[in-house]
Amino acid sequence: MTGYRVVVAGDAHVPAILGLWAQLIDHHAALDPFYARLRDDATVNFESFVRELIAGEYTRVLVAIEDGAAGGRVVGYNLGRIVEYPPIFEERVCGEILDMHVAPEHRRRGVATMLLERMMEWFRGMGMSRAEVNVHPLNTDGQAFWRGRGFTDRMNRLYRTLE
């Protein structure tokens, strides 16, 4: 049986994260045409964004690595950050999961749960008592995953095209 481990990502993991991100974008594009309309420089910009997150003090990038794979194959990633709300709420900061994706052939093996648990550990270590994530309403697998781990609706984000 294949084992997995979750580690804090470094620059060497970025190419694998980009490949997994492309899978995530394709998945979302199948749900919503908005995600199919990427800029020509989207991959370059996302790479810069990931590198900034890796270097950041209030950000965390995790990767899941398949044990036994030559050099350790990256099969999933999780991007998180600490966000601050205006000074009107008692609880002004929380953890936010920006992206999380596991390669389809490694799903339902506990990899996403491992990535989530490690990110939650980091959030708690940073003093957070709450985490948030955005999930597309048509992403039924994503909805089931997050709800199955205790995430609930707080606010719906609505969109309108301006003409």
CATH of the domain at 66: 3.40.630.30
Q: Count CA atoms within 13 Å of residue 128 on its CB side.
A: 24
Best CA proximity match to 46, nearest among 118, 98, 7, 106: 98
Question: Does 131 fall in a domain?
Answer: yes
Dump pLDDT digits (tens) for 48-103: 999 999 999 999 999 999 987 566 899 999 999 999 998 998 888 999 999 999 99
Task: List CB contacts of 155: < 8 A, sequence separation 6 or more.
Answer: none
Residue 140 is predicted with a pLDDT of: 94
Best CA proximity match to 65, nearest among 119, 26, 103: 103
Say whether pLDDT at 1 is over 50: no
Question: How deeply is 33 buried, as exposed, middle or buried, from its count of CB atoms within 10 A (0-12, 13-18, 19+)?
Answer: exposed
Question: Does 24 fall in a domain?
Answer: yes
The whole-angstrom separation of Cα 135 and Cα 157 is: 10
Residue 2 is predicted with a pLDDT of: 64
Dump pLDDT digits (tens) for 99-148: 999 999 999 999 999 999 999 999 999 999 999 999 999 999 999 999 99
Question: Does 155 fall in a domain?
Answer: no
Question: Does 102 fall in a domain?
Answer: yes
Residue 161 is predicted with a pLDDT of: 86
Query: Rounded to two decimals, what is the model's pTM?
Result: 0.93
**Domain count across the chain:** 1
For 25, 46, 75, the CA distances from 42, given in Å and listed in that order, are 11, 6, 21
Strand partners, 66: 4, 73
In percent, how much of the chain has pLDDT > 90? 82
Question: Does 105 fall in a domain?
Answer: yes
| pLDDT tier for residue 157 given thresholds of 50, 70 and 90 | confident
